[in-house]
Amino acid sequence: MFGIGPLELVVIVVLALILLGPEKFPEAGRTVGKTLREFRALTSDLTRDITSSLDDPQPRVRTPRTAVSKQPEADDHPKMDDADQAPPDDNQPGPV
């Protein structure tokens, strides 16, 4: 466990007890335990993901999606005849 022997572990625990006091020592121990548990879970998940991706015979390659836009054709738009055109503006001068 981290290359720490039993004597070093006892010294660390005694120093932590002296520095934190008996009220905060159990809370600090719980926090350290939760942190170590989460670290182990994350490293095992990462190891499993890397192992599964290395064992996968065909790597998953994502192809980029390109937007395809349809060009309007001449027949797509309705043709306007004289009846559909707007009347001329009264403010603009007409032909002279």
pLDDT at position 25 is: 92
pTM: predicted TM-score of the whole model, two decimal places? 0.45
Region for 21 from its dihedrals, namely left if φ exceeds 0, alpha if ψ lies in -120 to 50, beta otherwise: left
- At 60-78, the pLDDT tens digits run 667 777 666 666 565 555 5
pLDDT at position 55 is: 78
64: its two tokens: 């980029």
Residue ranges in the chain whose pLDDT is less than 50: none
CA dihedral 12, 13, 16, 18 (to 10 degrees): -110
pLDDT at position 28 is: 92
